[in-house]
Amino acid sequence: MPAFGFVADDLTGAADVLAQCHRYGLEAVLVIGDASLPTDADVVGIAGPARSLAGAAFDALVKRDLAAIAQLNLEVLLYKVCSTFDSSPTVGSIGRGIQLLHQQFPLHGPIPVVPAQPGFGRYTAFSNHYASYAGKTYRLDRHPVMSRHPSTPMAEADLRQVLAEQLGSAAREQGAIHLPTYDDGTFKDAWADRRRDPDAQAFVVDAVDEQHMDTVAEALTREGHGHGPSLVVGSGGIMAALARSLSDQTPRTPGTQQPSGPVLAISASASSTTAEQINDAVSHGWEDAPVSAELLQGHDAGALAALDRHVSEALQLGRNVVVHTTRGPGDPRYGAAKPADPGYVGALIGGIAARMAHAGLTRDIAVCGGDTSSHALIAMGVRQLRVSDQFVTAGPILQADDDSAVGGCRLLLKGGQVGPTDILRRFAGQLPR
């Protein structure tokens, strides 16, 4: 039976969790939608597009996934959120996710919130969250990308304030465990105090290095099964620490990437990071296949058929192709799309990938963009994912179930902020890793 489980609010974030488990020698499986949960793994997770949803749609999806994962006798359950904590009171609300965790596990008490992922440049200090970008580290509300996120811009770095706003008008500022407790010997006492607070729904936990994360993982696994699993809200960083607590294996390192033919990348990410990666690929000979503004605004059979022909012809010629809905937030298509619904866009680009794979034109597919990735994989008929190889931090090489349109394909799921500029060319085996 699995020791750990997770429910992820987007698919690329779930892929990061799989990567952390695989890196430390654990077998992890991710299911999508209402597929049955396997029991032949150390870690089992469910992912859906919750980060792009609001209101009743968000509640229905998260309730369904929590109810399903609760059937397993887990030691720890992670509610996986982005390590940049991007969310809002209305879209992909982490606070609402915490409230739904309490509904599913009413006896648990306050839930620790630990989004730090030091190996990925994500840090929490005195409840303020920081993220690295282009070699520098920024407070979340001053981050060049996250402060201008197209759907959930982060205007506050203090996670206590972020959670208080998302938990509603009746919520007071949530508690916290700050950095000095790790060094002065008071962490265990602070943890116990926060967990006993009758008025709190959650508390923020600082962490700026892997030793801090390991201390949190120890606290989670120490709590026992009295009222169900230990609960934690966090990123791939806490799953890496939990995996280290189970495994004594030397961490796996990335293998050499070797595609079987032309690579197809599909992207609905408006991130400037992804834009740089698309620009890098196109400038090195990849076929540029933009989705028109008209097609983004609504179904246009003629425009879709033309795009399919464009992609198909390039792949038949052996060319790598990148299909994209925008090349950064300054792309005029982004504004013209009002913005486009993530479900529609994800299904649009996922359908293109499914058709190209079904036709045998590509067996190597990269999906870029966290908010739309779940919708794209659903359009491909994917029900289950497992890691086949380490690649870049938070972006492993995955393989889908054989019954999907992309069964047997080599898949890369890349979040908007993830990866080096040349990640697509690395995936295509065009340069050393």
- pLDDT tens digit string along 98-117? 999 999 999 999 999 999 99
* pLDDT over 70 (residue 22): yes
pLDDT of 199 higher than 90? no
Q: What's the predicted TM-score (pTM) here?
A: 0.89
- When pLDDT is cut at 50, 70 and 90, the band that residue 187 belongs to is very high
Rounded alpha-carbon distances, angstroms, from residue 387 to 1, 14, 22, 37, 291: 19, 11, 7, 16, 30
Mean of pLDDT values over 46-57: 91
pLDDT value of residue 241: 97
Q: How far is CA 207 from CA 125, 139, 210, in A?
A: 7, 14, 8
Helix, strand, or coil (residue 328)? coil
Predicted pLDDT of residue 358: 96
**Long-range CB contacts for residues 272-275, cutoff 8 Å, separation at least 24:** 272/144, 272/145, 272/328, 272/329, 273/133, 273/145, 273/416, 273/417, 273/418, 273/419, 274/328, 274/368, 274/369, 274/414, 274/416, 275/326, 275/327, 275/328, 275/331
Which stretches of 298-355 are assigned E, i.e. beta strand?
321-324
Range picked from 181-195, 292-306, 374-388 for highest mean pLDDT: 181-195
The tokens of 167 are what? 């938990």
pLDDT for residue 368 is more than 70 = yes
Q: What is the pLDDT of residues 102-158, one digit of tens each?
A: 999 999 999 999 999 999 999 999 999 999 988 899 999 999 988 887 778 899 999
**How high is the pLDDT of residue 333?**
85
Token representation of residue 138:
């920024």
Residue 337 reports pLDDT greater than 60: no
- Helix axis angle, 210-222 to 236-246, nearest 10°: 70
Position 403 confidence tier, pLDDT thresholds 50, 70, 90: very high
| Greatest mean pLDDT among 312-321, 323-332, 340-349 | 312-321
DSSP letter string, 15-32: HHHHHHHHHTT--EEEEE
- So what's the pLDDT on residue 338? 57
Torsion of CA 114, 120, 123, 128, to 10 degrees: -80
Calpha distance 402→409 (Å, rounded): 9
Confidence of residue 394 (pLDDT cuts 50, 70, 90): confident
Instruction: Give tens-digit pLDDT for 215-259.
Output: 999 999 998 666 789 999 999 999 999 999 998 888 998 878 889
Segment among 10-14, 155-159, 332-336, 382-386 with least mean pLDDT = 332-336
What is the phi/psi pair of residue 190, to 5°? -65, -40
| Digit-coded pLDDT (tens) for 259-275 | 999 999 999 998 888 99
For each of the domains in the chain, give its residue range(s) and CATH number, in order of start.
Answer: 4-246 (3.40.50.10840), 263-427 (3.40.980.20)
Give residue 373's pLDDT.
84
Query: Alpha-carbon distance 245 to 416, whole Å?
Result: 29
- Higher per-residue pLDDT: 371 or 220: 220
Which pLDDT score is estimated for 224? 66
Q: Which amino acid type is present at position 324?
A: H
The pLDDT mean for the chain works out to 92
The per-residue pLDDT for 67 is 97
